[in-house]
Structure 1
């Protein structure tokens, strides 16, 4: 039975958040109140089944300038959720689900056992978001994690987004179909595009102009099926009131442009990531060439005709690629022409750009200022992509008046290291909001890959409405009870230890800094230089999970967590064995080399057995998902090769080897 839906149609208030960005304030979901209410109700039903009838959802777009919800108990025992939109309603439900019913919904599963009688709210609870936007995804997530997702998996992820308050998600699926349509209409051949598009697991970097053709050719059925999938993704996002971010033309073109348009002014960029010229050295159309405006306009028009638009577009012209000139005048022209190409296709366009490139020494204040001020104020949003470890909005005076989003990158390559910068995540967003003349308009989560460190994402998402830093001990205790449905002193102590050690990196370490056992070895390795915490704290936390295993054995999320902590602990022990082996090697102590080598080998066998015990750590699922997209044996081979290469060699000859390595059963050992 679905939850009762009451819909009000009060007039939309035009005065949104009190920022000096009028164009942003006009952004609204086009979905009706009834559509958003039904989408939120359906989500609740997917999560808790028949108990969803205990919740009443009411959408009232006029209750506040920001996204907000109000929770109250009705006389019949039901809980009423009044919200400004579908996402806000999902947030309201999740707040009650977590903090009154000890529930949780994460990538690894859910704890959804509700009390037989819902807890009564003595007084209504009203919570409002602090910013305009809650952004989600990284352009790389579409390759490192979701490359082979089907609709069922996307539906689960969009539910997760809504529950965690995401209203500005990246929606990059299906763009190759539009680019194909555009290029073929302009004289390019299918063979030209086969050399241009990357393979299924490497599209992120082909889209950004880093590589071309590697992992391909991209099958036509893949292109077509992704187009159909994108329609489903966008419909669900929009039904919930989200504003999906679509791609725009950034200037990267097929190499065949020199044949199709011999007078075009193009530059061949330098090689990227150790790739040779066969797959790198991509072509960039000059911004002042009239073709740039033609391509940019036509792409957005074709994309809008196919998918509709919410007027926000991502384009990253120089991501990890050095511009042809550091002259601010050149940089300003580049920004101007990328934006005018967008507005040629959509006069209401807003350019959303990843700020990752601004960490490069190339981008000094004159260059950054030239780029961002070339676009009218409020018509560009910059993702301060890794604010929790390297915020750059401070260096560039809050982006010289352009709005930015404070983002937590957290993960590189989809690796699985236990990691977090909890103090920074706890304090950083409020610092961003209070920065002098701050132009911060939201928070974001921008991991390169997901399915790891779920506690960090639960914590970060609450920054949408948490105005002040939280008491970490109290929050982690609540998290553990929500995750397993019960209080347990052993596991509470374990999470407290993890919070103060592996999840409290404050010295510049990133999640992939530890030389994991799935990476190729080095004779210079020393584990102590890679640890930002005392490993004894990790081992004590491991003991806590083991001690709690009897009481919490019924929880599938506990099974996942104890496997995760065990995995990370065994990894650290293995790398200690390896460090001792390297020291013995340098001392030419062959006996000790053999001893530590044997110990490490035995431990890796144990680790593989552990990984094989939990479906979340099976290589076979990644491979099966990849092969499911194929229509014949040759495509199955291509899909599997893409899946295997990305997590190992990452390139034909190991150009970016091990960057996306996974500790999975079937990778650690066959």
Structure 2
């Protein structure tokens, strides 16, 4: 029997041995035995820990069995070393710190057994025998920080971490360690932090005593009690800390839409607020307290200290500063206040914790000039401050870290924002990332690689690309990486899937967040989602919107053949017995269809304007509307096949963790249906997107028939019909809109072929 030798039956040694034993059992069917002592008949032994923590290892080094490990104390280095003596076979697993021991465990099964780790599960081959000899593998990370964020939006369980229970989080944290990450951040609201920091004045609210903003992402009513949320946070962070994962402590001016000030605090304390001219988060609960007044800064840090005391650890801190705040109309005055906020927060942190790094989040820099960022950098201390840049993948070719005077001079990280909440399709600004990452990789001042999107688990390719490069930076070329990705994820279907991913790559690249000060080209993930809430895309056809749509349709038109071929090839893939293939088939299909409908809708607006000017006939427009409507209906049928895209099933999942607030169904609807978060949700297709498209089509047909050549602008009658559709959605129980997944699965291949045929029709125009 294989023995697992640990120096003590607790802590990281027990965790690492249990993880090893579980994987060994799944592969071989054998059950290794954990022990602190060896008997003479023990012939195969896994030894956990370096000589710094395991006396047995030190003893063997002193006996001359070997000279030691190639690891640095306190680092994320690990070493797998096979040795033999006196008929006994050893495998030593050593790490520079506790989490590195877990890296060594998971790496062994990758190297020796071919195990592959993904967010949605592991590929574990079965073997009759697994050898432990012949290994001498020492590995070190390129980056000090390898981090990921979980954000506060809600909607579909797969994509939004607020839905996850403790079992989900244990799987997620284990996956982080399997991928050799070392830091994660919960950006899922503050839970019961005010109650912990100010127990004398802030009480736990009842379900109906919470400020909320209906039909929006700002509706923060809880599905479970705040007490449950606090206990969940505690369990998550304890589980992570036991595995030596870092979690930064949020600090400073942290008030935001997901971290509002409770009414009890506002009434009792009456904090003074910073001036604010912008409307976003303009209610008292969403406004930033005036940190220049001492008691307000102290109260912000009481929240941080409460988190440290109840949940966290003061080893690393994080601040967003005054992100997304317009305090003064005078830009220079506004900028001075933002600089002052960062300086005050830095001083407050380092007066108490002088050696703890402070991570300065870069999100606000999307609205800063390069000169303004450089001014901030010049005021920060590089000894204990890190620029936490998670917009390194920006579409903006001018305003990014390469022009901020940090390369070779100031500590920063290379960060991938990747996606807003709604953008759950497969995407990525790989061209820009490849070029910029090469510079960061060569720069010793680049201290990390991080993934900081507004959703989770959306893009299997990007998750693998990020985690691979976060360790060693050796996989920057996306075309080369796709081959490795397919080999690891699909096994027998790797060649067929590589062909599909290669085919899709240009379309994948067309999806990226496009905030750009050089030109207005920000586009929604799918134009079909915008009709009700964002008329600037398809209804109000101004010179600006037409230019945006001309840019979009021109970019996509040349790749339509790829969408057609992808959909046809997916229809031939044998996905029925492979959950990875099934999920990725639906993800690739909705990405291809989304790009095709974006092209068709963007192009149609140009035709509508051409009709108004007398250059296009109405017959062609009506024909295109029919084709788009059919493709959208097929897209809904494809989504019906997989539970990942059902709001009803996500709601039902919440009940597994305990009673759900009876008012939460409408909250969840609003969290998903609002203008910002509309995405690939099956129930929204059936209840909103398809009826809205029909209303829009009817409005267009009516205008065409009447010969009304006035500029295209959303009419009151169209607005009224769209409002009726919205109201009907909120009045209809989710259960009545739920998918028939069995039917969706049965028809998936046929629907993929139908989608290919519809997309091919757009190429004819």
TM-score range, shorter chain: 0.7 to 0.9
- Residues in 1 aligned to 2:524 and 2:646: alpha-carbon distance in whole angstroms: 23
SS at match of 1:450: coil
Match of 1:494 in 2: 500
Q: Deviations over 1:393-414 (max 9, x none)?
A: 3222118954221111112114
SS at match of 1:166: coil
Given the superposition, is the C-alpha separation of residues 86 and 311 from structure 1 closer, same or farther in structure 2, using an over 3 Å criterion?
Answer: closer
- Residues in 1 aligned to 2:667 and 2:124: alpha-carbon distance in whole angstroms: 36
Given the superposition, is the C-alpha separation of residues 306 and 215 from structure 1 closer, same or farther in structure 2, using an over 3 Å criterion?
Answer: same
Q: Deviations over 1:595-639 (max 9, x none)?
A: 33333333223222221112222222322245667746xx222x2
SS at match of 1:161: helix
TM-score relative to the length of structure 1: 0.79
Given the superposition, is the C-alpha separation of residues 288 and 474 from structure 1 closer, same or farther in structure 2, using an over 3 Å criterion?
Answer: closer
Match of 2:662 in 1: 636
Match of 2:27 in 1: 51
Q: Are 2:453 and 1:447 equivalent residues in the alignment?
A: yes
What does 1:71-82 align with in structure 2 at a 5 Å threshold? Answer: 71-72=80-81, 81-82=93-94
- Residues in 1 aligned to 2:293 and 2:557: alpha-carbon distance in whole angstroms: 50
SS at match of 2:324: coil
Q: Are 2:222 and 1:222 equivalent residues in the alignment?
A: no
Structure 1 range deviating more: 499-508 or 466-475: 499-508
Q: Are 2:244 and 1:238 equivalent residues in the alignment?
A: no
Match of 1:132 in 2: 144
- Residues in 2 aligned to 1:48 and 1:585: alpha-carbon distance in whole angstroms: 63
- Residues in 2 aligned to 1:420 and 1:370: alpha-carbon distance in whole angstroms: 30
Q: Are 2:208 and 1:178 equivalent residues in the alignment?
A: no
SS at match of 2:668: helix
Maintained 8 Å contact 2:526/2:595:
no
Alpha-carbon offset, residue 179 of structure 1: 1.6
Alpha-carbon offset, residue 177 of structure 1: 1.4
Maintained 8 Å contact 1:56/1:79:
yes
Given the superposition, is the C-alpha separation of residues 519 and 623 from structure 1 closer, same or farther in structure 2, using an over 3 Å criterion?
Answer: farther
What does 1:278-297 align with in structure 2 at a 5 Å threshold? Answer: 279=283, 282-297=286-301
Given the superposition, is the C-alpha separation of residues 48 and 194 from structure 1 closer, same or farther in structure 2, using an over 3 Å criterion?
Answer: farther
Match of 2:582 in 1: 559
Match of 1:522 in 2: 538
Match of 1:422 in 2: 430
Given the superposition, is the C-alpha separation of residues 130 and 539 from structure 1 closer, same or farther in structure 2, using an over 3 Å criterion?
Answer: same
Alpha-carbon offset, residue 90 of structure 1: 4.0
- Residues in 1 aligned to 2:165 and 2:385: alpha-carbon distance in whole angstroms: 32
Alpha-carbon offset, residue 149 of structure 1: 1.3
Maintained 8 Å contact 1:198/1:216:
yes
TM-score relative to the length of structure 2: 0.70
Q: Are 2:415 and 1:407 equivalent residues in the alignment?
A: yes
Alpha-carbon offset, residue 309 of structure 1: 0.9
Q: Deviations over 1:110-136 (max 9, x none)?
A: 322244434777452221101211111
SS at match of 1:135: strand
Q: Deviations over 1:182-237 (max 9, x none)?
A: 3453x56778999987689989xxxxxxxxxx414558x62211111111111111
Alpha-carbon offset, residue 357 of structure 1: 0.8
Alpha-carbon offset, residue 84 of structure 1: 2.7
Alpha-carbon offset, residue 443 of structure 1: 1.0
- Residues in 2 aligned to 1:577 and 1:304: alpha-carbon distance in whole angstroms: 52
Maintained 8 Å contact 2:151/2:455:
no
Instruction: Report how many residues are paired.
Output: 613
Given the superposition, is the C-alpha separation of residues 597 and 628 from structure 1 closer, same or farther in structure 2, using an over 3 Å criterion?
Answer: farther
Maintained 8 Å contact 2:428/2:511:
yes
Q: Deviations over 1:530-569 (max 9, x none)?
A: 639723234333444344x24x643211111122222223
Match of 1:14 in 2: none
- Residues in 2 aligned to 1:165 and 1:61: alpha-carbon distance in whole angstroms: 22
SS at match of 2:164: coil
Given the superposition, is the C-alpha separation of residues 429 and 546 from structure 1 closer, same or farther in structure 2, using an over 3 Å criterion?
Answer: same
Q: Deviations over 1:323-355 (max 9, x none)?
A: 547357644432232234335665654322311
- Residues in 1 aligned to 2:648 and 2:426: alpha-carbon distance in whole angstroms: 22
Match of 2:100 in 1: 88
- Residues in 1 aligned to 2:562 and 2:110: alpha-carbon distance in whole angstroms: 28
Q: Deviations over 1:143-167 (max 9, x none)?
A: 8711221111111111121111221
- Residues in 1 aligned to 2:388 and 2:485: alpha-carbon distance in whole angstroms: 28
Match of 1:111 in 2: 123
- Residues in 2 aligned to 1:352 and 1:182: alpha-carbon distance in whole angstroms: 23
Structure 2 unaligned residues grouped into runs of 5+: 33-44, 53-70, 256-260, 516-520, 532-536, 540-545, 687-736, 738-765
Given the superposition, is the C-alpha separation of residues 621 and 168 from structure 1 closer, same or farther in structure 2, using an over 3 Å criterion?
Answer: same
SS at match of 1:309: coil
Q: Larger % of helix: which?
A: 2
- Residues in 1 aligned to 2:202 and 2:23: alpha-carbon distance in whole angstroms: 47
- Residues in 1 aligned to 2:557 and 2:522: alpha-carbon distance in whole angstroms: 10
Alpha-carbon offset, residue 529 of structure 1: 4.1
- Residues in 1 aligned to 2:242 and 2:215: alpha-carbon distance in whole angstroms: 29
